[in-house]
Copies of this chain bind each other. A is one copy, B any other.
């Protein structure tokens, strides 16, 4: 199964490793071949190709999509390019894996989901790259919910906490410009905890009340700081930060539960802390990506004398994905989710079924992001989100 990847930066690296490891550790029926990589900066793309044995390099993504030996197009570029590439690839009959967020706007996301739906009718598959779904502890959490172990869900508290913008002299990169990034913490990291909530609970967010904030409103222009220490910035140019530093919102789930969400780049001391706690009528689950091989499980049916949160080290062969790796107690890391994603995608293609999360799932996240922005712009007014007809609440 020939893979063609567009992009070569952080996500390109993670995806390259994912494709390669999928073959070596999962040995899927349709074994992924690293056929071609595309990037406008041909030298950078060639360097990635050299390190991971990509067979060909293209400098135009259209050429990559056009290659007959490319059967899967893997999109690792910034969000404002996703729609064009993905729709072209789907229309050309290529299966598509698209990095998250699916798009920068609901409109784009909807057009992509429509294209995916059209392609699906022709047996062409698509998937959006919410890889945290494939951390074994998260996939295990979903299994427990599906088995009824949590019961009716009452509370979700989800946080994605980073701190890389705490320093007010941290420069104004493209991620802090609305035209290019769409939004700030909300779309970049808030999208993950929205999707994780949908995935683990099996429910949908049906409404939100939100507040957003840009704590540091001006920053040194990135170009002017290259290679200079921050203390030398006195005469430096400053520009407006046009995205949010933090977004917090309340939510209602389709099953009636309450959610509290927080996405921020200003949680001093928290590097990449993705926390998800779910309380239900029959039990609770708690996860923190800082300890990613662990799920804390509470079973309310156990007598109070012996009950509590059990620290399950999710490295047993009976846990999702784990049998393909190492013996019990030998933990996995951040990158393994990309291998699981790659393996699941080629497996779905081989079996002729739809992989998950679908573009429709990506659109659902986008609709929540839009509702959050709308509520925040409207004095936190409650903002309902329509579920598509036929959605299982």
Contacts and interface: CB of A to CB of B under 8 A. Distances in A.
Interface size class of A (residues with CB under 8 A): 35 or more
Given A252-B211, A262-B155, A334-B332, A290 B313 contact: yes
B318 A304 contact: yes
A268 to B, nearest CB: 5
A268 B284 contact: yes
A233 interface: no
A287 to B, nearest CB: 14
A310 interface: yes
B271 A328 contact: yes
B269 A309 contact: yes
Contacts of A281: 166, 168, 268
A15 interface: no
Interface string A213-240: 1010000000000000000000000000
A379 B384 CA distance: 10
A269 B250 contact: no
A166 B53 CA distance: 45
Given A159-B157, A310-B309, A267 B246 contact: no
Nearest to A375: B380
Contacts of A166: 281, 300
B318 A305 contact: yes
A77 interface: no
A155 B250 contact: no
Given A211-B209, A312-B308, A272 B327 contact: yes
Contacts of A269: 279, 283-284, 298, 300, 307-309
B51 A27 contact: yes
A248 interface: yes
A120 interface: no
Contacts of A23: 51
Interface string A20-44: 1101110100000000000000000
Contact of A154 (B209, B246, B307): B246
Contacts of A264: 154-155, 279
A59 interface: no
A330 interface: yes
Contacts of A303: 318
A306 B300 contact: no
25 contacts: A10-B327, A155-B264, A157-B262, A162-B329, A163-B279, A209-B209, A209-B210, A211-B258, A213-B258, A260-B260, A260-B262, A269-B308, A271-B329, A272-B315, A272-B330, A273-B329, A304-B318, A308-B313, A309-B310, A331-B333, A331-B334, A333-B333, A379-B382, A381-B381, A381-B382
Would you list the 4 A-B pairs with minimal beta carbon distance, nearest first?
A272-B329, A271-B329, A269-B298, A333-B333
Interface of A: 10, 14, 16-17, 20-21, 23-25, 27, 51-53, 140, 154-155, 157, 159, 161-164, 166, 168, 209-211, 213, 215, 246, 248-250, 252, 256, 258, 260, 262, 264, 266-273, 279-284, 289-293, 297-298, 300, 303-313, 315-316, 318-319, 325-336, 375, 379-382
Given A210-B250, A272-B315, A308-B313, 19 more contacts: A10-B326, A10-B327, A17-B24, A53-B53, A155-B264, A155-B266, A164-B328, A166-B300, A249-B250, A250-B380, A270-B284, A271-B315, A271-B329, A272-B328, A304-B318, A305-B319, A326-B335, A330-B334, A330-B335
